[in-house]
Amino acid sequence: MTTALPEPARLRAADLVSVGLDGLRGRPLRAVLSALGIAIGVAAMVGLVGISTVSKAGLMEEIRELGTNLLTVSPGTTLSGQSAVLPETAESMVGRIPGVTGVSAVGLVPNTTVRRTDRIDPATTSGISVQAARPNLLQALGGSVRSGTFLNDASGRYPAVVLGSVAAERLGIDRAGGHVYIAGRWMTVIGILDSLRLAPEIDRSALIGWSYARQLGFDGHATTLYERSTDATVQSVQKVLGATVNPEHPEEVKVSRPSDVLTAEAAANRAFNALFFGLGAVALLAGGVGIANIMVISVLERRSEIGLRRSLGATRGQIRLQFLTESVTLSALGGAAGVLIGLVVCFGYAAFRGWPPALPVQAIGGGALAAVAIGALAGVYPARRAARMPPTEALTST
């Protein structure tokens, strides 16, 4: 007569989680340090990709605010390789194109520098150029004055100057009312501009009136035209600008759209996402190796526990699931902490730059799934080793 062996007790999901958490609670410091590697990897992935996502969202918002209907026209080169010159009629001709809502211009005043005092060496330009400007320049660029006023028909005939934001900073002038030294003459600063994202060359310029600039050797030829058109006609206007500005030599005219630079910058942010994912993946892999190492050590330290559980009826599968659950739980906790840290970094950066917060959904989902997957892979070998350990050998080990 044979005696039937009792069926092994079933290990419910709740019991499995409880047993797995007991293993982590027994060694809290080791669990925290093991999960830290996973947390760093996920935080790097979410944080770096989140910063890239926020930057892209901020740039796109800035592009929407500034508009994509601003075109610039500048002289190119002749067939002989010399610098071309825009005709004096270029500004008025552009204004006749259907769809154009505004056009303005600046012209470089040659052989002039702007200095804080007449005691500074004339060779020290600080990268500031002197340009003649039309009174409607700010309307065309959508800019604003930080301090004072802009040039008008009256002030443009006198020694008055408006400084771009970078030029004012380099000259150490923070408000209108002071004086600067230009071409051997003292000129009054009547205004300081806010930064112009679509026209950074204006930020580094000292602007004077068109008529007054002729007294300093300005020849009256514009070096840059700024044209605004309706959103519906910007493409058609761009196609005819060169021929309109210089009908005889349209190839000597360069036409560009400043907003394309911001769009390219947003595209570059997308390209960096792959690099950021790679950096996070390397950190995750290092964290996974750490968890595998800790789980192997845990199996060796808990041989008596494994033998006792086996002698009480636990199957190899249940032992395997126990250690696998510990590994997955450990990496999942690290992944959750990493996601929270990464989101804090992401939102903190958005608040610092004043940009709209944008969730890096792919990084959050990818980081969390990667953490669980790496935890499962890291726990496979330790779990199988624990399950294969004979109960008698485990009970007699010390």
Q: What is the pLDDT of residue 210?
A: 95
**Residue 247: Cβ within 10 Å count:** 10
User: Distance between CA 285 and CA 209 in Å, rounded?
Assistant: 63
- Tell me the average pLDDT across 389-393: 70
4: which 2 tokens?
């039937």
Residue 366 CB contacts under 8 Å (≥ 6 apart), including other chains: 45, 277
**Residue 351: Cβ within 10 Å count:** 11
37: which 2 tokens?
């590697």
Structure confidence by residue, pLDDT tens digits, 317-346: 777 777 787 788 888 888 888 888 888 888
- Tell me the average pLDDT across 295-314: 71
Q: What is the DSSP letter of 158?
A: S
- 165-174, 273-282, 347-356, 376-385: which range is least confident on average? 273-282
Q: Tokens 């290990």 identify what position? A: 11
Structure confidence by residue, pLDDT tens digits, 63-89: 666 667 888 899 988 877 788 889 888
**Residue 240: Cβ within 10 Å count:** 15
- Tell me the average pLDDT across 281-301: 71
Q: Which of 2, 25, 17, 19 is nearest to 314 (CA)?
A: 19
Residues 176 and 192: beta-carbon distance below 8 Å: yes
pTM: 0.62
Which of 37-46, 55-64, 74-83 is predicted most confidently?
A: 74-83
User: Distance between CA 79 and CA 300 in Å, rounded?
Assistant: 81
Select the more confidently predicted residue: 64 or 156. 156
- Tell me the average pLDDT across 179-201: 92
Please provide the DSSP assignment of 52-75 as one string.
HHHHHHHHHHHHHHH-S-EEEEEE
**Residue 168: Cβ within 10 Å count:** 25
User: Distance between CA 248 and CA 245 in Å, rounded?
Assistant: 9
Q: What is the pLDDT of residue 205?
A: 95
Residue 297 has pLDDT above 90, yes or no: no
Q: What is the pLDDT of residue 1?
A: 47
Which of 220-229, 290-299, 355-364 is predicted most confidently?
A: 220-229
Residues 140 and 227: beta-carbon distance below 8 Å: yes
- Split at pLDDT 50, 70, 90, the class of 12 is low
Q: Report CA-CA distances (Å) from 152 to 161, 312, 350, 379, 388.
A: 11, 95, 39, 75, 89
Structure confidence by residue, pLDDT tens digits, 225-252: 999 888 788 888 888 988 999 888 888 8
The 10 Å CB-count burial string (b at 16+, else e) for 186-217 is ebebbbbbeebbbbebbbbbbbbbbebbeebe
Domain ranges within the chain, ordered by starting residue: 13-63+263-396, 70-257
Residue 265 has pLDDT above 80, yes or no: no
User: Distance between CA 321 and CA 386 in Å, rounded?
Assistant: 10
Select the more confidently predicted residue: 269 or 350. 350
Residue type, 333: L
The H-assigned helical ranges of the chain are 13-25, 28-66, 90-94, 137-141, 165-171, 200-203, 210-213, 234-245, 259-301, 303-311, 316-353, 361-388, 391-396
